[in-house]
Amino acid sequence: MCYAKIMLKQGLQQKLQQKLSPQQIQFIKLLQLSTVDFLQRVDLEMIENPALLGAKDEDALPSEDPKAETESTTDIEEDRSIDDYMMDEAYDVKEYVNDEYEPDGFHLSDEGDEERKETPITETESFHQHVQEQFNSIAEDDRELVIGTQIIGTIDDDGYLRRPLEAIINDLAFAQNIEAQIPEMEICLQKIQKLDPAGIGARNLQECLIIQLKRKDFYNRAIELAIDILENHFDDFIKKHYDKLIKQLKINEEQLKAIIQIITKLNPKPGDSISSARAQYITPDFILINDDGKISVLLNSRNAPDLRISRSYMETLKGFDEAKNPTREQKESVQFIKQKLDGAKWFIDSIKQRQNTLLHTMNAILQYQKAYFEEGDETKLRPMILKNIAEVTNLDISTISRVANSKYIETDWGVIPLKFFFSEGISTDDGEEVSSREVKKILKDAIEAEDKNKPLPDEKLMDILKEKGYNIARRTIAKYREQLNIPVARLRREM
């Protein structure tokens, strides 16, 4: 028999580790929020922490409150347990009643910004609620209602059912304990596909368009032919093999044009028709000010809520501080109050840090892209990446990324996402570095001006850019074209 010998050793080891404090974590979470999400987070914090109040609350302390000069008279008695001494440490309130614990409320430097009125977010029923309410009124029994609800909940936001019915059957068996079969699933799905908006519940684009066409005047010859094309010649249609369609359907070019016009007016994403109908407005995080050529930026006043500390909580602490022999219940109350006051102070400090970071970063972007902000000309944008702004602000790249994410600025040319100002650089024949957005704009203008009967292939677009001094490979042209959501030349061809 063989025994392994295990050696145990003790030793000292030095390690350098960096850990985020709870306050830093809170600041990071607040920084990446948009204005609307930030306001919701503030409201939630005020609900959870009664020590945090708005400036208009009657119990809120003023922004400047004189220091309290209360001295603690608490004596430590002998023969008490360790828990009692630890409770005394938590009971110490001198740092609260003898310190200016009430942070100043935050205000913007520009008073006029307080008068700006942003359009509020309108809350309406969701796309799925809209479909569900219709199905509730046509479901024959509880079983069909459960099956239909499961299918509707699986439909994507654009209106398509991409999950196979077999998988939904498994979901029903697992979540609802219902053993469904394909035939009854199909029947239920057909009922959903008859609901509004037209095309809802389709499993692919072909089915979506056919569902919409079958709701139209079926006795219209052009619609009959359109359905025939989608059902039997779909590949030829999407590949724009128009000559083949004319031969197969025995129609002329004018008739095919009329059919194509009917199909192209259909909605390829029926779910978006509900989403776009809902009033959704972007609340800008920054506001660009142009005062006779002097460009500056202001932070939306909603990002600087005037928050204060509860007066009653502070006075309660002062009362406990004056108690000579506090009871255990009083000590536990002090622990709770100190925790809430700490939480309120950290939250207000995090908001102030968020406000300063947002403005610091946005001012750096403003100076870097000053030529664009002065005229609004997209070709004036300089190549800019996160690292450029991080170096100017002395902030981490991840911090700049959080600021740029889901933040918007209101300008004279519309509300623009901060991500818009970041782009890679491209060198011209003269050695000048320009933004890729300038190249994309040239591409877009060239495609918009092309002859739709003979659209420009990528090779020709590459030649156009070379004439303007941009030596760009064809694969890069294809990449930029895809980023602009522009199809290849063959699919851009019109009759």
pLDDT attached to residue 215: 87
pLDDT attached to residue 109: 38
**Beta-strand pair 408-411/286-291:** parallel
DSSP 8-state secondary structure symbol assigned to residue 216 = S
Site of tokens 């991840």: 398
Residue 434, burial from CB neighbour count under 10 angstroms (0-12, 13-18, 19+)? buried
The Cα–Cα gap between 356 and 304 comes to 10
pLDDT attached to residue 84: 41
DSSP 8-state secondary structure symbol assigned to residue 60 = B
Sheet holding 408-411, edge to edge: 294-299, 286-291, 408-411, 414-417
Return the CA Rg of the chain.
33
The Cα–Cα gap between 388 and 424 comes to 11
Name the nearest CA neighbour of 193 among 183, 207, 205, 180.
Answer: 207
DSSP letter string, 145-190: HHHHHHHHHHS-TTSB--S-HHHHHHHHHHHT-----HHHHHHHHH
pLDDT attached to residue 227: 92
pLDDT attached to residue 232: 93
Helix pair angle (165-175, 182-193), 10° resolution = 110
Q: Are 30 and 42 in contact (CB under 8 A)?
A: no
Phi, psi for 256 (deg, rounded to 5): -65, -35
Q: How far is CA 21 from the centre of its chain?
A: 26
DSSP letter string, 367-405: HHTHHHHHH--GGGPPPB-HHHHHHHHT--HHHHHHHHT
**Beta-strand pair 286-291/294-299:** antiparallel
Instruction: For residue 414, give the H/E element and its range.
Output: strand 414-417
The Cα–Cα gap between 292 and 127 comes to 46
Q: Which two tokens stand for residue 428?
A: 């011209």
pLDDT attached to residue 182: 94
- Domain spanning 423-495, CATH architecture: Orthogonal Bundle (1.10)
Chunked mean pLDDT (size 10), the chain, 495 residues: 63 68 81 86 88 77 47 36 38 48 40 40 63 91 92 91 93 88 94 91 93 82 90 89 89 89 88 58 86 87 82 77 70 81 88 92 93 85 89 91 89 88 73 73 86 85 84 84 83 74
From residue 478, give the alpha-carbon distance in Å to each of 49, 443, 460, 465, 483.
54, 10, 12, 13, 9
pLDDT attached to residue 324: 67
pLDDT attached to residue 391: 93
pTM greater than 0.75: no
Domain segments of the chain as ranges:
22-64+79-121+281-422, 127-217+260-276, 423-495
Q: Which two tokens stand for residue 165?
A: 């019915």
